[in-house]
Amino acid sequence: MIGRKPPAACRAPAATRWVIGAAFSALALWPVPARAQAAPLGGRFEVAAGGLWVQGTSVGGADATETAPDGTRFRLFASRGSLGPAPGLEGRFGVRLGSVLRLEGSGSFAKPDLRVRISSDVEGISDLTLAETVSQWTIEAALVAYLARWRVGPRGIPFVSAGAGYLRQIHEGGTLADNGRTYRVGGGVDYPLTRARSGRLKSAGLRVDVRAAIRTGGARFDDRVRVAPAVGASLFVRF
Amino acid sequence: MRRVLAVSLALGLVAAQTVPAHAYLKFGVRVDGRDVTLKWNRSVRYYVSDRGVPGVDPPAFQAALSRAFATWEAVPSASIAYEFGGYTSALPGEDDGRSTLGFVEEPDLDRVLAATGFLIDASTGELLESDVFFNSIFPWSAASGEAGRFDLESIAVHEIGHLSGLGHSALGETEAAESGHRRVIAAEAVMFPIAFSAGNMSGRRLKADDIAGISDIYPDGGFGSETGTISGRVTKDGQGVFGAHIVAFNPATGAMIGNFSLDARGRFSIAGLAPGPHVLRVEPLDDADVESFFDPEPPVDIDLRAAFFNRLVSAPRGGDSGAIDVSVVGK
């Protein structure tokens, strides 16, 4: 495949334009039309490992109140919850589907803090933040579409992705788990560092991506859908 | 041999006292060196006095009581059941083996709206008889929210909580009134010992603390498997604190359920919590109303500052949090 003009790069523009419209901020990295039309995906299978940073998000909360004689609520103290930002580890396995698509399965682990900010206590206790550490696991499947006509720099290949998965958060002490669903949309750049013309290993490289991590369920104090930005960086090998 | 013990407790619902605190409380007795919860081991058959008061005739009285009993009976996570046995000419307080509810004129108890007394088997903790009197010196109403009259159903819900084995909850706030008494600012348990003013009907509805309390005594409907418990100790200077109030607040639901540290080691246990993270808040039971919650001995330690436990604590579904050590400091 090396050096051949990928047919899909010519056949794909309609679909490609569509995903460009949904692409995330990684696409703002000055994509330029490809000059050398090298095969963007190199290898059928991909294995990757890397790090992930998920920004914190509110998880709701309620005031501690009692019933006043007139039926209104009398506040004892206020509480507001959040899930703190946290680094994590991510592993990924991918299978190429044609020349511009890749189906990926991934798993991640992080240990964010679940926090509750207490304020306005009726007896004057100083404002404070309580927390517990949550062990957070995700398993996701995503479809990645490579924007084969574009390059970021000499070798970077931009992509957009969308996926969904399962979220499990185990509270401190290991006695309670909350489950939920995850959805993600985003994009990034695959940057091949090496290419092999023979042997099982086809290429190795670096991926950087940003995504909107959308969550329902899990550890939270209301039923709202939460969206948190996330950044990932990983090393991949393809064979 | 069964030892029968008549218990005259200050379990009246009073019109004005104080206690900014939180918690449900079960009654208990010591049997062979261990604490046993007072409870009924059978369906509770009750009788209603055939004496009415102005504005409330016996049928209206019985109807209000029936609604109040139904309120407790409807708790899905508790198994207690009540049965109306009929009208009686007997008065509450007679040790006749019948649980009787009725009006009695008690002018000396000019701040007590109603009170509950028990006959118990002191060898097992079984409740044998429980009588409730409503003080007829007060104006009563069996209708909805009559101004100037105390809502019979609301007060009955409170007393039936006692009749069933619940003590007072301290989940309420009060302030000093011009009369020198205390006025309730807010409450979040029908088992709070001080009633709202005449005409108020908010005591007709059970709160999370009441539901947890009755379910803890008569668990049913998955109470043990679907809810969680947080337990631990309250200590000050390394020593256990007796009588501290510990409240578990659920930020997801806003529900508050509490209990007290109930022994010299400061141990507490709060059951009936929805699974999930909770905020724990500890405060003293810090004025003259201590006796409406506890016997004089051992003395309740009220020399402690209100404080939050410094971590969130998860109540596991069907399990216990494990020992939480809440350290407090003196005032």
Answer CATH for B4-214 from 3.10.150.10, 3.40.390.10, 3.40.50.300, 3.40.50.720? 3.40.390.10
Interface of B with A (CB under 8 A): 20, 171-173, 184-188, 196-197, 200, 202, 207, 228, 249-254, 256, 275-277, 279, 281, 283, 306-317, 319, 321-322
Supply B6's token pair.
Answer: 């008549």
CATH number of A7-238: 2.40.160.20
Give me the residue spans of the domains in chain B. 4-214, 224-328
**ipTM surpassing 0.90:** no
pLDDT of res. A113: 96
CA dist A113 and A135 (Å) reads 9
> What's the gap in Å between the CA of B47 and the closest CA on chain A?
31
Asked whether the beta carbons of residue B173 and residue A66 sit closer than 8 angstroms, the reply is: yes
Which residues numbered 165-194 in A keep a CB inside 8 Å of some CB on B?
A: 171-173, 175-176, 178
Find, in chain B, the residue whose alpha carbon is nearest to that of A169: B276
Interval A96-122 mean pLDDT: 95
Q: Is the C-alpha dihedral spanning B120, B122, B125, B126 positive or negative?
A: negative
Interval A68-86 mean pLDDT: 94
Question: Is A223's Cβ below 8 Å from some Cβ in B?
Answer: no
pLDDT of res. A134: 96
pLDDT of res. A42: 75
Count how many residues are written for chain B. Answer: 331
* Each residue's pLDDT expressed in tens, for chain B with a length of 331 residues: 334 444 434 344 544 332 222 235 667 777 777 778 889 999 999 999 999 999 899 999 999 999 999 999 999 999 999 999 999 999 998 888 899 999 999 999 888 899 998 888 888 888 999 999 999 999 999 988 788 999 999 999 999 999 999 988 889 888 877 777 778 889 999 999 888 888 899 999 999 999 999 999 999 988 989 999 999 999 999 999 998 999 999 999 999 998 888 888 999 999 999 999 999 999 988 644 666 676 666 787 888 999 999 999 999 999 999 889 999 998 8
- For residue B184, list chain A residues with Cβ-Cβ distance below 8 A: 69
Best of A58, A63, A67 to disrupt the B interface (most B CBs within 10 Å) is: A67
CA dist A102 and A92 (Å) reads 12
Looking only at the bridges linking them, the beta strands covering B245-249 and B307-308 are unpaired
pLDDT of res. A40: 56
3-state secondary structure B262-317: CCCCCEEEEEEECCEEEEEEEECCCCHHHHHCCCCCCCCCCCCCCEECCCCEEECC
Answer CATH for B224-328 from 2.170.120.12, 3.30.390.10, 3.10.180.10, 2.60.40.1120? 2.60.40.1120
pLDDT band at A99 (very low <50, low <70, confident <90, very high): confident
Per residue in A140-167, pLDDT (tens digit) is: 999 999 997 888 888 899 999 999 999 9
For residue A235, is pLDDT > 80?
A: yes
Question: Is A127's Cβ below 8 Å from some Cβ in B?
Answer: no
What does the DSSP 8-state code read for residue A6? P
